Amino acid sequence: MDIARKLASLGVSITFVCTEGYIGNMIKQGFNPGGLPIRLVGLPDGLPPEKSMTDSVDQINVLIEVTEKLVPSLEDLLCRLNEEDRIACVLYDFMLWWMGRLGQKLGMPTYIFYAMSASFFSYLTYIPELVSQGRLPLEPHTDLNDESIIFKIPGFPSLHAREVPDISWSPNALCSFDYTMRSTAAWRDATGILFNTVYDLEKEVIDDLRERAPEMDIRAVGPLLPLEYLSAEMAESAVEGTKSVNAERCLRWLDEQPEASVLYIAFGTIASPSVQQLHELAMGLEASKARFVWVVSVGDESNLQDDGAEDDIVDDGDEKAMKSAERKGKQMNDGKLSGNVLPSGFEERTQGKGLVLWQLAPQRKILAHGAIGGFLTHCGWNSTLEGMCKGVPLLCCPMFGDQGMNGKWVEEVVHTGKRLQLQRDEVQRQVQQLVDMSSPLRLSACRLRDIACRAALPGGSSHIDLHAFIQNLE
C-alpha cells in the first residue's frame, strides 16, 4: 500500500486489487485513503474458510494456491476496468509470475513492484542458472558450515551455504521452490520493475539487472516512506497507532531517557526466536545494563514448546499479522503466556532501565525518537529501511527469507550494523558496543540516512525515477 499511496499523492488514480478476505480485513482495520484517489477491489480467493489468507500462519503455501486461482477473475476484472477507463499500467507482486504474460495478452504495460531489496531479487533471478549448474537446490544434508560452497551474484558479497535464503536449502521450503522457479523464469515478461530501494546503495546490483534485461524499465524508487518520516521533524500523521495506550506509555518513557541511549528490540509480528533464544537475549541484555524498549510478540504458541522451531515472519505492514499479534499480546499481558517467554523476574530486575511491551507499538514513531540509539531487528527489508532512514545502527537477527541477505548487506556492504547470535555473552558485548556513542557504526548509519533520505526527497534519484515512471505512462 506504500507504493499506492505514494503514486496517488502524485495524482495517479489507483485501483488496489487483492483477495476479498484481505480487502475486508483492511476495511475492518479502518483503512482510510485520506482523500487520495485509491479504491479497493476484492477478488474471491476460491479457498475454504479454514485456508483463508487472513487466518493462515503458513502464508506461502496458501499464497501459492491463491495465485493460481486468480488468473481468470483478474483477467476479467482488467478487461472491465479498461473499458471504464484506460489502464495505464498494472503494478503487481513478483509472486504473480503470470501477470507479465497476461499483460502482453491484454496489451497493458506491467511492472513488478518489489518491496524487498534489489540484491535479494537478483539472487532469485540467478536461481534457474544455479539449478542448471546443479548447484541448487541444496540437499537437506548439506553442511551449512562448508566454506567451499559459495554463491556469487554481481554487486553483492559472496554467499556461503549458511547465508543463502532458505528457499535454496530448507526441506520445508522445497514445496515452494518450483513456484519460485516459475516466478524467476518469468521476470522478464514484465515491462519493468520498481524497487523499494535506493540506487546509490545497490548500484552494482541494479546495473547488472539492467544489463541483463536492457528491454526493461528498471527503477529504484525507495525508500517508500512518508516524507514526514524522512524529515527531521516527524508529523503525527506519518505514524500508525500513535494514540494507543501502549504507544503513549512507550513514548512517555522514552521522553525521560538520555539521547541515543536506548536499544529498540522487535522481531516482527507473526513469529519470534525460540524461548531459549529469548532467554539468552534477556540475560545478555540484563548483563549489558543498557536501556531498552522490547516489543515481545510470540508469533506461534508452538514456539513456546519447541526451541528448535523456525517460524515465518510477515512483513511489518501486514495488517492481519498485526491484529493477530495484538490479540496474542493481550493474552501475554494477561499472564497466560508471559511466564514462559522471558526469564523469571526479568522485568522487575530491569525496571527503570528497560521497558517490555507485550502488544504492538508504533515502530516508526519509536525509531524517530531521539532517545533511540540502536535497533535489534529480524532485518525484514521494511524494518531495515525504517531504521536506516533515522540513522539508527542495527543488530541483525535474521530468521528466514530475504532477512539473511539483508543482515549481510547491513554488515558487509553499508557497514551500519552487525549480525548477532542470540547467546548471552555475545548479546552483552554487542549491545554495549552498539549503544556506545563513539561507535563507528553510528557515523556510518548517519551517512546512510543522509543518502537514503536525499534520494527520496525532491530532486533525489528515487524521486526523479518515480516521476519518470509516471510520465512514461501518460
Q: pLDDT tens-digit profile of 344-399?
A: 999 999 998 999 998 778 999 999 999 999 999 999 999 999 999 999 999 999 98
Q: Which cell is 349 given?
A: 530486575
Q: Which cell is 139 given?
A: 540437499
**Which run of H or of E encompasses 381?**
helix 381-388
Is the sign of the CA dihedral 287, 291, 292, 293 positive or negative? positive
pLDDT at 473: 87
Other Cβ atoms closer than 10 A to 184: 20
pLDDT at 241: 43
Among all chains, which residue has been given the C-alpha cell 515478461? Answer: 189
**Which run of H or of E encompasses 112?**
strand 110-114
Domain 2-226+460-473, what fold? Rossmann fold (3.40.50)
Please name every residue paired with 220 in a beta bridge, in sequence order, or none if there are none: 195
Among all chains, which residue has been given the C-alpha cell 519460485? Answer: 180
Is residue 109 within 8 A of residue 90, CB to CB? The reply is yes
Rounded to whole angstroms, the Cα distance separating 358 from 128 reads 43
The class level of CATH for 231-453 reads alpha beta
DSSP structure class, residue 55: T
pLDDT at 312: 29
Asked whether the domain spanning 231-453 has the same topology as the one spanning 2-226+460-473, the reply is yes
Domain spans, the chain: 2-226+460-473, 231-453
Task: Name the stretches of the chain with pLDDT < 70.
Answer: 47-61, 169-175, 232-245, 269-271, 298-339
Other Cβ atoms closer than 10 A to 44: 12
Radius of gyration of the CA atoms of the chain, in A: 22
Q: Cα torsion at 224, 380, 173, 129 (round to 10°)?
A: 60
pLDDT at 209: 98
Other Cβ atoms closer than 10 A to 147: 9
pLDDT at 55: 42
Cα separation values, 465 from 108, 217, 224, 388, 471, Å? 21, 10, 12, 20, 10
